[in-house]
Amino acid sequence: MTGDFNIRDSNWDPNFHHHSIHTDNLITITNSLGLELSPSSNPGPTRYTNNLCDTNSVLDLVFLLSNNARFGQHSLYPEIQKLLDHIPLVIEVGIKETSINISIQSIKKDSKEEKSFIELLIHSVENLNVSSTRSREDLQNSV
């Protein structure tokens, strides 16, 4: 679970020296879902302000399933922030290498099967009932 929680708290923002009751509520909810706050691999502000009277802050948080090896830490990418005041958070997901069996069914070009398929297709199109077709949408539905 990730997002802009708009909660400033000393638990995740070292530049903020207060604790919020909203933090306790958020932690209670995430714990009930089996989630834990994910530390960033490169900690820093997630929201940058344009207001000189305000400070940059950590408002965007990531909560991950506890003891889940497929999800690593998340990273902050301030260099690709663009025009937004929040920076992208990226989570690498480990995908187990596996073999996927794929079967492909095809008709050999210029075979009897191809000729039969094309004849059947032509016959089906020729016999389409388009007498009640009044619009492009009607034609699309018929096809």
Model confidence over 10-34: pLDDT tens digits? 989 988 888 888 999 999 999 999 8
Please tell me the distance from the alpha carbon of residue 134 to that of residue 143, in angstroms, as a whole number: 14
Looking at the predicted structure, is the pLDDT value of residue 41 above 70?
yes
Report which of residues 100 and 35 the model is more confident about: 35
Looking at the predicted structure, is the pLDDT value of residue 48 above 90?
no
Looking at the predicted structure, is the pLDDT value of residue 3 above 80?
yes
CATH for 2-93, options being 3.40.50.1820, 1.10.645.10, 1.10.10.10, 3.60.10.10: 3.60.10.10
Please tell me the distance from the alpha carbon of residue 54 to that of residue 97, in angstroms, as a whole number: 47
Please tell me the distance from the alpha carbon of residue 123 to that of residue 131, in angstroms, as a whole number: 17
Residue ranges per structural domain of the chain? 2-93, 112-142
Q: In the prediction, which pLDDT does 113 show?
A: 93
Report which of residues 132 and 94 the model is more confident about: 132
Q: pLDDT tens digits, residue range 67-116?
A: 776 666 788 888 877 777 888 888 877 777 777 788 888 899 999 999 99
Indicate the burial class of 62 (C-beta count within 10 angstroms; 0-12, 13-18, 19 or more).
buried
Please tell me the distance from the alpha carbon of residue 50 to that of residue 58, in angstroms, as a whole number: 15
